Structure 1
Amino acid sequence: MDVREVERLGGDLADFTVDVFGSLTRVGWQDRAGQYVRGLMVDGRRKSIQPMAGRLPGVHDQALNHFVTNSPWDVVPVRRRLAVRMDEAIGPAAWALDDTGWLKCGTASPGVARQYTGTAGKVTNCQIGVSLNLVTDAASCPVDWRLFLPESWDPASPAAAADVDVRRARSQIPDEVGHREKWRLGLDMIDEVIGWGLTPPVIVTDAGYGDSGEFRHGLTERGLSYVVQIATTIGVQQQEAARTAPPAAWTGRRPALRYRSPATSVKDLVLSHGAAAARSVSWRDGSRTRASRPVKMRSRFVFLRVRPAGRTLLAAHRDQDLPEAWLIAEWPPERDEPTKYWLSNLPATTPKRTLIRWAKLRWRIEHDYRELKTGLGLDHYEGRTWQGWHHHVTLVSAAHAFCTLQRLDPKAPAPA
């Protein structure tokens, strides 16, 4: 949007700022928050503080920088209000968990290290942020964030860098914050947002989280439903697999029942059923049209009931049968083998179309990341403090939420 478009939305933005940033009670803080959000929405090649301030009349970059980098305002009540408001506005069909990268050149930014990021598709020097997004087919919004700290940034880790204490002090990382796996950060955020009074319909993730048996078990322990993408190598027992005693005779204590056959990879199991097991399923309207009507998104899928295996699940169900789950494989008609796999703990009675709709719904978070970066400057922040990073991503989330609310309002001019 250009400056005039943003100014035309000034009344709505002022009301939004008072609502979402109501916890910022010090004089001038809400004004600064509104200025920053406006700066993020105004068109411009860079959305770092100095260029943004230069585009907005009467805004001083030093004051804006102090607000984002040094002012001690708490992001939690802001995110809580944002989550509650967006939950009411969009009625999320799922909560999506994922991460994205900030490509960096130096070593001073908190959490920066050589690590893999899907942003670059390779191992490179970057920061990784993990987000929890409320999603539907038509709208979505990030409502919580964590900055991932690699082990090199954790003084308690054997892999800590030699200058870790200096780097942490310079970045103002709290002493209690250390390395924590991304899937644990995801569970932390889910717990936090549930603590704000919201209830997830279902959790959707890519294989970066779905491959973790600990993560899936953590969701099940919390009573949460999930549809998560997984790698082809994840092992499962077939639905009819049963635990048995060893065939040899024994004396003394009766041996424990266990699965005698090794787990099968999901790829091998689906291939053993063949392409004939796939069925055509449509799940939503696509962007293409035919005879002025939207064409349904459609593909072919294999649906199997299985028992996910792995050390975590075997240990958690030591004297029990492994729980059943859905194994879903997308097998397009033009391909020789499936292209994607998912696991879900939803009931066996769940309609197939519902399963696929949730499996495919994770695409919204990719849409969010593109918009957050290309339109709202998510990865343009140049500060080097822990607090500044969290302030920035919270303000960007607020800008994204405001744009989403404007799109959902039929009376409002659509943000560019």
Structure 2
Amino acid sequence: MARIAGRFRRVEPRATAHAFVLGLLSGIERKNCWRLAEQAGHARPGPMQRLLRSARWDADEVRDEVRVYVLEHLGSDDGVLIVDETGFLKKGAASAGVQRQYTGTAGRIENSQVGVFLAYASSKGRALIDRQLYLPEHSWCQDAERRTRAGIPDRVEFATKPTLAGQMIAAAVDAGISASWVTGDEAYGQDPGLRALLESRRIGYVLAVACSTRVRINHGRTAIRADTVADHLPASAWHRQSAGAGAKGPRFYDWAWVETSGDAHRHLLIRRNASSGELAFYLCWSPERVPLSELVRVAGTRWCVEECFQAAKGQVGLDQYQVRHWTAWHRHITLAMLALAFLAALAADATPTRSAQPNRLARSTDPIDLTVPEIRNLFAALLNFPKASPSRLLHWSNWRRHHQAIARRCHYRRRLFAPSST
């Protein structure tokens, strides 16, 4: 917390931010302002709500500190930047950026907000280092009244998700994040602008693309679909390699790579599931020639961002906010990223250095390394949050039920006096 203390001009929001992050690291069931205020011993949720909505501090400056902190603890020569998005299911239409849209969180079209994130992953660990709320073009960017109600700054214009990803990557590189590779799923691999940006910055990429993506092989004039290329590969073109360690051991797939456009720095990488035969395709570029094993390693690193989302939502309440304002969203998300980075740094520092990797497999009695969930459980227990007295528990119960009664009366009144549709 001392790292970000200077980002707050007054002692009150600084102390509230400290209590906020401690609450995110605690074991409380829901990590919204009401519960966090109760956990901190406050009589009202007002200080927590002001911290997110109106207190004077810049969430981007705190984000910068998170980025540096992650680099200090997780930075490594094998670091990879990962771009991806995650959805936040919401009710109503007032929250900034909310609309009915597809989100992988639900696996279908739902009323939700979508955040685009940048993660950093290395052999030491992984953490989220940047975030941007996606703002739909027609329902939000072109609706001035709606933007004003949600506190969206005038400077914010429509940007596609790959454009937001490119902005975050450029900002991270300019800030000193050293990563030779970027990876992401089809939503980002299909965008030629993002690929051009990475090439102009001399950053290699392994980006997933659709099977219908067309590439040129052997200086051919006609572009060929990626799945057609895979169908014509001989058996000798496939190589069994691991994409990294999974929960149940190494993730082995069959891999093939083909030069595209006659350029030794450009490849179509193809992954085949040995059991089902399912194929996945990646467009790859590197400023220098690299072996197949390096492209496979980077492709396998993409799943680290899914682990980040799972840990951030399950451990530090990334998706448990109850805010509608543009600024409040970015502030909550940034403080949750800080809490996750803290846990990831502890996990990295607690992992012993082992020179003989095969010996680990022989000693089956050794416990696994400390994980982010386990460290959060230990931290919450060791911190020994004081138990609330019966009077405080009743106070907060009365407070919540009082405000829920007000909300219910407002809903009933709105429906009773709404114009009839008949």
For residues 127 and 137 of structure 1, what CA distance do their matches in structure 2 show?
31
Where in structure 2 are the equivalents of 1:371-410 lying within 5 Å?
371-410=311-350
* TM-fit CA distance, 1:346: 2.0
Aligned to 1:268, which of 208, 228, 232? 228
Describe the shift of the 1:323–1:104 C-alpha distance in structure 2 as closer, same or farther (beyond 3 A).
farther
Where in structure 2 are the equivalents of 1:21-170 lying within 5 Å?
21-58=5-42, 60-92=44-76, 93-155=79-141, 160=142, 164-170=143-149
Describe the shift of the 1:340–1:192 C-alpha distance in structure 2 as closer, same or farther (beyond 3 A).
same
Aligned to 1:211, which of 179, 184, 190? 190
For residues 183 and 376 of structure 1, what CA distance do their matches in structure 2 show?
26
Aligned residues of 1:281 and 1:352 also touching (Cα < 8 A): no
How many pairs are equivalent?
354
For residues 198 and 61 of structure 2, what CA distance do their matches in structure 1 show?
25
**Paired residue secondary structure (1:200):** coil
* TM-fit CA distance, 1:58: 4.4
Describe the shift of the 1:118–1:340 C-alpha distance in structure 2 as closer, same or farther (beyond 3 A).
same
Is the counterpart of residue 325 in structure 1 residue 282 in structure 2? no
* TM-fit CA distance, 1:323: 8.3
* TM-fit CA distance, 1:231: 1.0
For residues 88 and 246 of structure 2, what CA distance do their matches in structure 1 show?
31
Per-residue deviation, residues 181-222 of structure 1 (Å, max 9, x unmatched): 011111111111222222322111111100112211121122
* TM-fit CA distance, 1:136: 2.0
* TM-fit CA distance, 1:131: 0.8
* TM-fit CA distance, 1:138: 4.8
Aligned residues of 1:239 and 1:305 also touching (Cα < 8 A): yes
Per-residue deviation, residues 232-262 of structure 1 (Å, max 9, x unmatched): 1111000332xxxxxxxxxxxxxxxxx3x2x
Aligned to 1:284, which of 232, 244, 260? 244
Unaligned runs of 5+ in 2: 352-369, 378-422
Aligned residues of 1:82 and 1:398 also touching (Cα < 8 A): yes
Aligned residues of 2:204 and 2:287 also touching (Cα < 8 A): no
Aligned residues of 1:101 and 1:119 also touching (Cα < 8 A): yes
For residues 350 and 116 of structure 1, what CA distance do their matches in structure 2 show?
36
Aligned residues of 1:137 and 1:361 also touching (Cα < 8 A): no
Aligned residue type for 1:107: A
Aligned to 1:173, which of 152, 156, 163? 152
**Paired residue secondary structure (1:30):** helix
* TM-fit CA distance, 1:347: 5.6
Q: Which has the higher helix share?
A: 2
Describe the shift of the 1:33–1:366 C-alpha distance in structure 2 as closer, same or farther (beyond 3 A).
same
Matched residue, 1:304: 258
Aligned to 2:292, which of 329, 352, 359? 352
* TM-fit CA distance, 1:415: 2.3
Aligned residues of 1:35 and 1:59 also touching (Cα < 8 A): no
Matched residue, 2:280: 340
Aligned residue type for 2:196: H
* TM-fit CA distance, 1:283: 4.2
Name segments (4+ residues, structure 1) moved above 3 Å. 283-288, 321-324
For residues 287 and 3 of structure 2, what CA distance do their matches in structure 1 show?
39
For residues 260 and 196 of structure 2, what CA distance do their matches in structure 1 show?
15
* TM-fit CA distance, 1:350: 1.1
The TM-score normalised by the length of structure 1 is: 0.80
Aligned residues of 2:181 and 2:205 also touching (Cα < 8 A): yes
For residues 181 and 318 of structure 2, what CA distance do their matches in structure 1 show?
26
Describe the shift of the 1:89–1:65 C-alpha distance in structure 2 as closer, same or farther (beyond 3 A).
same
Aligned residues of 1:136 and 1:364 also touching (Cα < 8 A): no
* TM-fit CA distance, 1:177: 0.9
For residues 230 and 139 of structure 2, what CA distance do their matches in structure 1 show?
41
The TM-score normalised by the length of structure 2 is: 0.79
Unaligned runs of 5+ in 1: 1-16, 242-258, 289-294, 308-320
Question: What percent identity do the matched residue pairs reach?
Answer: 28
**Paired residue secondary structure (1:349):** coil
For residues 323 and 332 of structure 1, what CA distance do their matches in structure 2 show?
26
* TM-fit CA distance, 1:274: 4.6
For residues 122 and 275 of structure 1, what CA distance do their matches in structure 2 show?
37
For residues 190 and 180 of structure 1, what CA distance do their matches in structure 2 show?
15
**Paired residue secondary structure (1:149):** coil
